[in-house]
């Protein structure tokens, strides 16, 4: 008994330092039980606190706004403030009336604009993810293989763009890509081209912008993964007669899959909803859901439809991620 | 402990020839002018402390490092400049380096697939290897689902699957606990004997080298100090370094006073009596030499022995009881501490010599060996 109490008291001290107040009285079963109970409570309380703060944060600033958006998506448009009908209403002060309008969602399916915008966003995000992967993998590999001293410098260079405002960096691309911009002038000065290339306000410039902006998000998780890769595995493969290129395909690439997946999700998900880059660099034909959302909210002032667009996009993204996570969890268990 | 079959086997054909190999990393010379010939079917050990260059030498044979100068021949072919994947040797890594994303089966088949063997043959060879290391039941498991000993066997099976001319083993047993290590030592010798593959093993454990090897090379500071059969290495070390590294030893520093063809006499300030050694050396009178006496060759007695030389009076300052044997630390009147190991013929409580007893130590003239460097 005494041993158990001491153990509990020690644990309590480690966690809160308050358990000392309850002396572990040897031979006194009740006091001992109480001491253990208190320290156990504290221990659990500490754990709850540590997990609870981020949960509370997410509830307040993520789940709650999300619930509000979800609520608005089931309302109907009306003139006034707020510009949507209430969901729950007192009728004649006697009973509550709940009005769920699913017309907004129906509308999304009926108007091809939305479907096209969704598909456009998915395509844009998928191609950009692939591009960042193709560019980011060799970079991450190179950084992971560099001397430890140069490695930190290279990592710093990857993060360096974050020190400038995102907007300014996107605007800078306008300066580079426009008809009389840096790149066109340079190419014409070289004599490679006679008239400016249409580099801006088309799909190309959007791909360029997204790939450029999201590249660090691909490189960093890939680097974290590749840096951990045990080099003796590569030596073992070579020793067993495997050529370097094949070693990359059979050993390095499969082992870096978690990094590839993490990086791809980090790029793909925000790229789907990207608004600033297509708005600033894209042309009129670049149809992306972020822009549709914006014009629904700020031009048409139709909050319910805009909310429905947002919710539908979330569902679009959450479902594949959950399926993926389910399989990954299963794979790790195996 | 060396198995008789392995020791008496005749090694004729050289399989690995290392000629004047030097390896420098910047200013540091890891391997300094090593010349070594290893014959077909040997179980050869490279023994030395950490940083002595033994692993670098092994990695140069495998092709992970290129020598700064010198030649390495495998089965008569100069392999310097050849990448690892084109060399007819395989390596078993200290960390095992099993591919974590592949099953046991896939790990063993990996090397065979690189050779483009037909599927049926790969399958048969993998099964044969699994049987050899008694892991057939674990074929579908991933490495992280295996114990340390099982992983070690998978690594062995994988490195032997391609039937290499030479198997290189980098500290193959260092990750196993003592009991398992001893059992695995004998199994490795057994497998080596059965397959007839040449094994070159790097180890820092002299007992392991002694148990397993047909020949041992002791390395120090990038150079080979002595190459010999384990028993010869133990009984006739050619230097203080080897005597002290290969087993434990009592070392007396002294001056050569008589140098005859069949005996030498040495006087040492560390021991009152003269030291009489029953073999001649090619030294000159007055030069400083060292006399090495193994602890088990020193005898203990409570009464004065009759011999005139190789004896001293002392006091038992410590006893280390090891079950089968006990080690007595005897402090001589000169202050020198001598280790003596004695088999425990009787139970320890009934032993006649105990702490603080006055005792005589002595040894026979043919028990000691003189080293000059």
Whole-number Å distance between alpha carbons of B113 and B95: 23
What would the mean pLDDT of A186-206 be, rounded to a whole number? 89
Tell me chain A's radius of gyration from C-alpha atoms. Answer: 28
Give pLDDT tens digits along chain B (373 positions): 444 444 445 557 899 999 999 999 999 999 999 999 999 999 999 999 998 999 999 999 999 999 999 999 999 999 999 999 999 999 999 999 999 999 999 999 999 999 999 999 999 999 999 999 999 999 999 999 999 999 999 999 999 999 999 999 999 998 888 888 888 899 899 999 999 999 999 999 988 999 899 999 999 999 999 999 999 999 999 999 999 988 889 999 999 998 888 889 999 999 999 999 988 787 778 889 999 999 999 999 988 999 989 999 999 999 998 888 999 999 999 999 999 999 888 776 666 788 889 999 999 999 999 998 7
**Three-class SS state of B355:** coil
Is the separation of the CB atoms in A321 and A265 below 8 Å? yes
Question: Where does residue A93 fall: left (phi above 0), alpha (psi -120 to 50 degrees), or beta otherwise?
Answer: left
CA distances A202 to A134, A212, A280, Å, are 22, 16, 10
Select the residue from A225, A239, A250, A328 to test the B interface by mutation, using most B Cβ atoms within 10 A: A239
For the CA atoms of B197, B198, B204, B205, what is the dihedral angle to 10 degrees? 60
Determine the Cα angle at B181 with ends B178 and B186, to 5°.
135
Give the gap in angstroms from C-alpha B61 to the nearest C-alpha of chain A.
11
pLDDT at A333: 52
Which residue has tokens 């790149």? A183
Contact B95 A230 (CB under 8 A): yes
Whole-number Å distance between alpha carbons of A120 and B332: 93
ipTM above 0.90, yes or no: no
Whole-number Å distance between alpha carbons of A264 and A217: 8
Q: How many residues does chain A have?
A: 334
Tell me chain B's radius of gyration from C-alpha atoms. Answer: 25
Q: SS3 letters for A145-207?
A: HCCHHHHHHHHHHHHHHHHCCHHHHHHHHHHHHCCCCHHHHHHHHHCCCCCCCCCCCCHHHHH
B chain contacts of residue A256, beta-carbon cutoff 8 Å = none
Q: What are phi and psi of B319, to 5 degrees?
A: -130, 125
pLDDT at A295: 87
Question: What's the DSSP call for residue B145?
Answer: G
**Three-class SS state of B24:** strand
Residue A331 pLDDT level (bands cut at 50, 70, 90): low
Select the residue from B88, B101, B160 to test the A interface by mutation, using most A Cβ atoms within 10 A: B101
Stretch among A217-226, A282-291, B17-26 having the lowest mean pLDDT: A282-291
Among chain A, residues having any CB pair with chain B shorter than 8 Å are 230, 232-233, 235-243, 246, 250-251, 254-255, 334
Whole-number Å distance between alpha carbons of A247 and B153: 23
B chain contacts of residue A246, beta-carbon cutoff 8 Å = 114
Does B110 contact chain A (CB < 8 Å)?
A: yes
Whole-number Å distance between alpha carbons of A128 and A266: 12
Residue A93 pLDDT level (bands cut at 50, 70, 90): confident
What would the mean pLDDT of A316-332 be, rounded to a whole number? 75
Contact B91 A254 (CB under 8 A): no
Residue A298 pLDDT level (bands cut at 50, 70, 90): confident
Contact A236 B99 (CB under 8 A): yes
Stretch among A11-20, A109-118, A174-183, B5-14 having the lowest mean pLDDT: A11-20
What would the mean pLDDT of A206-232 be, rounded to a whole number? 94
Is the separation of the CB atoms in B318 and B338 below 8 Å? no
Instruction: Pick A31 or A176 by higher pLDDT.
Output: A176
Give the closest of B93, B101, B158 to A232, CB-based: B93
Contact A238 B115 (CB under 8 A): no
Whole-number Å distance between alpha carbons of B309 and B267: 10
- The DSSP string of B290-314 is EEEE-GGG-EEESSPPS-SSSEEEE
Q: What percent of chain A has pLDDT over 90?
A: 38
B chain contacts of residue A231, beta-carbon cutoff 8 Å = none
Q: How many CB pairs under 8 A join A and B?
A: 61
CA-based nearest residue to B74, from B212, B243, B198, B252: B198
Contact B99 A238 (CB under 8 A): no
Q: Does A13 have pLDDT greater than 60?
A: no
Contact B83 A238 (CB under 8 A): yes
pLDDT at B4: 44
Q: Which are the contacts of A88, defined by CB distance < 8 A and separation ≥ 6?
A: A96, A97, A98
pLDDT at A20: 41
pLDDT at A328: 73
Whole-number Å distance between alpha carbons of A71 and A73: 5
Smallest CA–CA distance from B86 into chain A, residue = A241
Whole-number Å distance between alpha carbons of A156 and A163: 11
Question: Where does residue A206 fall: left (phi above 0), alpha (psi -120 to 50 degrees), or beta otherwise?
Answer: alpha
Stretch among A102-111, A257-266, A320-329 having the lowest mean pLDDT: A320-329
Q: What are phi and psi of B351, to 5 degrees?
A: -60, 145
pLDDT at B106: 96
Stretch among A33-47, A283-297, B10-24, B203-217 having the lowest mean pLDDT: A33-47
Give me B224's structure tokens: 């080979």
B chain contacts of residue A235, beta-carbon cutoff 8 Å = 62, 64, 84, 91, 93, 97
**Three-class SS state of B39:** strand
pLDDT at B10: 52
What would the mean pLDDT of A80-99 be, rounded to a whole number? 78
Residue A4 pLDDT level (bands cut at 50, 70, 90): very low
Q: Does A25 have pLDDT greater than 50?
A: no
B chain contacts of residue A230, beta-carbon cutoff 8 Å = 95, 97
pLDDT at A207: 94
Contact B85 A236 (CB under 8 A): no
What would the mean pLDDT of A224-238 be, rounded to a whole number? 95
Give the gap in angstroms from C-alpha B21 to the nearest C-alpha of chain A.
21
Select the residue from A241, A254, A331 to test the B interface by mutation, using most B Cβ atoms within 10 A: A241
Is the separation of the CB atoms in A102 and A312 below 8 Å? no
Residue A315 pLDDT level (bands cut at 50, 70, 90): confident
Give me B187's structure tokens: 């199994």
Does B172 contact chain A (CB < 8 Å)?
A: no
The runs of H, that is alpha helices, within B213-362 are: 230-235, 240-245
CA-based nearest residue to B60, from B74, B49, B48, B43: B74
Strand pairing partners for B258?
B265
Give me A205's structure tokens: 């410039």
A chain contacts of residue B62, beta-carbon cutoff 8 Å = 235, 239
Whole-number Å distance between alpha carbons of B338 and B354: 15
Smallest CA–CA distance from A241 into chain B, residue = B85
What would the mean pLDDT of A146-160 be, rounded to a whole number? 93
Q: Which are the contacts of B274, defined by CB distance < 8 A and separation ≥ 6?
A: B257, B265, B266, B267, B308, B309, B310
Terminal CA-CA length for chain A: 41
The strand ranges marked E within chain B are: 14-25, 28-39, 43-47, 69-74, 77-78, 89-92, 166-170, 198-203, 215-220, 223-228, 250-259, 264-267, 275-277, 288-293, 299-301, 311-321, 325-332, 337-343, 358-362, 369-371
Q: What percent of chain A has pLDDT over 70?
A: 89
Smallest CA–CA distance from A230 into chain B, residue = B97
Question: Where does residue A110 fall: left (phi above 0), alpha (psi -120 to 50 degrees), or beta otherwise?
Answer: alpha
Whole-number Å distance between alpha carbons of B338 and B341: 10
Determine the Cα angle at A245 with ends A240 and A250, to 5°.
65
Is the separation of the CB atoms in B43 and B11 below 8 Å? no
Give the gap in angstroms from C-alpha A233 to the nearest C-alpha of chain B.
5
Give the closest of B100, B101, B115 to A241, CB-based: B115
Give the gap in angstroms from C-alpha A118 to the nearest C-alpha of chain B.
36
Q: SS3 letters for A42-58?
A: HHHHHHHHHHHHHHHHH
């Amino acid at each position: 008994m005494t041993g158990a109490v001491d153990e509990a008291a020690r644990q309590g001290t480690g966690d809160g330092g308050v358990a000392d107040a309850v002396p572990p009285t040897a031979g006194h079963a009740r006091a001992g039980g109480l001491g253990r109970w208190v320290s156990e409570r504290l221990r659990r309380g500490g754990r709850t606190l540590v997990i609870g703060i981020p949960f509370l944060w997410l509830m307040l600033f993520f789940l709650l706004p999300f619930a509000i958006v979800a609520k608005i998506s089931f309302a109907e448009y009306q003139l006034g403030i707020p510009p949507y009908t209430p969901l729950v209403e007192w009728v004649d002060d006697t009973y509550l009336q709940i009005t769920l309008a699913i017309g907004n969602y129906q509308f999304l399916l009926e108007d091809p604009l939305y479907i096209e915008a969704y598909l456009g966003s998915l395509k844009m995000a998928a191609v950009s993810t692939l591009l960042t992967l193709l560019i980011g993998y060799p970079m991450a590999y190179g950084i992971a293989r560099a001397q430890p001293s140069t490695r930190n410098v290279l990592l710093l260079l990857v993060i360096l763009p974050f020190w400038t405002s995102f907007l300014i960096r996107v605007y800078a691309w306008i300066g580079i890509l426009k008809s009389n911009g840096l790149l066109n002038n340079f190419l014409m000065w070289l004599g490679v081209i006679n008239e400016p290339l249409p580099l801006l306000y088309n799909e190309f410039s959007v791909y360029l912008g997204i790939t450029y902006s999201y590249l660090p998000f691909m490189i960093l998780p890939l680097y974290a993964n590749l840096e951990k890769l045990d080099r003796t595995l590569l030596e073992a493969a070579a020793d067993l007669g495997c050529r370097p290129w094949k070693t990359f395909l059979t050993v390095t690439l499969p082992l870096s899959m978690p990094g590839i997946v993490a990086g791809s999700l980090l790029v793909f998900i925000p790229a789907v909803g990207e608004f600033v880059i297509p708005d600033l660099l894209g042309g009129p034909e670049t149809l992306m859901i972020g822009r549709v959302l914006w014009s629904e909210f700020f031009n048409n002032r139709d909050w319910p439809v805009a909310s429905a667009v947002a919710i539908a996009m979330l569902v679009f993204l959450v479902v594949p991620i959950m399926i993926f996570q389910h399989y990954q969890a299963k794979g790790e268990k195996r | 402990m060396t198995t008789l079959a392995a020791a008496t086997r005749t090694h004729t054909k050289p399989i690995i020839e290392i000629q004047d190999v030097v390896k420098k990393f910047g200013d540091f010379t890891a391997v300094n002018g090593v010349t070594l010939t290893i014959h077909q079917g040997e179980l050869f050990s490279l023994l030395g402390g950490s940083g002595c260059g033994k692993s670098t030498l092994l990695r140069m044979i495998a092709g992970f490092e290129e020598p700064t100068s010198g030649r390495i021949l495998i089965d008569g072919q100069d392999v310097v400049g050849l990448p690892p994947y084109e060399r007819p040797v395989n390596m078993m890594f200290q960390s095992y380096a099993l591919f974590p994303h592949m099953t046991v089966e896939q790990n063993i088949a990996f090397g065979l697939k690189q050779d483009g063997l037909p599927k049926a043959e790969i399958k048969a060879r993998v099964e044969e290897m699994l049987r050899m290391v008694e892991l057939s039941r674990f074929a579908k498991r991933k490495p992280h689902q295996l114990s340390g000993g099982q992983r070690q066997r998978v690594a062995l099976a994988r490195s032997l699957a391609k039937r290499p001319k030479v198997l290189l083993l980098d500290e193959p047993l260092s990750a196993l606990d003592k009991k398992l290590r001893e059992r695995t030592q004998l199994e490795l010798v057994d497998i080596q004997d059965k397959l007839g593959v040449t094994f070159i093993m790097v180890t820092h454990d002299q007992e392991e080298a002694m148990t397993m090897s047909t020949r041992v090379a002791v390395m120090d500071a990038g150079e080979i100090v002595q190459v010999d059969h384990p028993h010869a290495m133990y009984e006739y070390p050619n230097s203080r370094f080897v005597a002290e590294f290969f087993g434990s030893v009592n070392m007396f520093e002294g001056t050569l006073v008589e140098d005859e063809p069949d005996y030498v006499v040495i006087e040492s300030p560390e021991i009152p009596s003269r030291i009489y050694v029953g073999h001649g050396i090619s030294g000159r009178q007055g030069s400083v030499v060292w006399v090495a006496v193994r602890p088990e060759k020193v005898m203990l007695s409570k009464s004065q022995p009759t011999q005139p030389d190789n004896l001293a009076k002392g006091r038992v300052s410590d006893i280390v009881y090891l079950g089968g044997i006990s080690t007595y630390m005897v402090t001589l009147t000169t202050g020198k501490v001598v280790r003596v190991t004695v088999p425990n013929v009787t139970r320890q409580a009934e032993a006649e010599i105990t702490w603080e007893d006055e005792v005589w130590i002595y040894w026979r003239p043919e028990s000691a060996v003189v080293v000059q460097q």
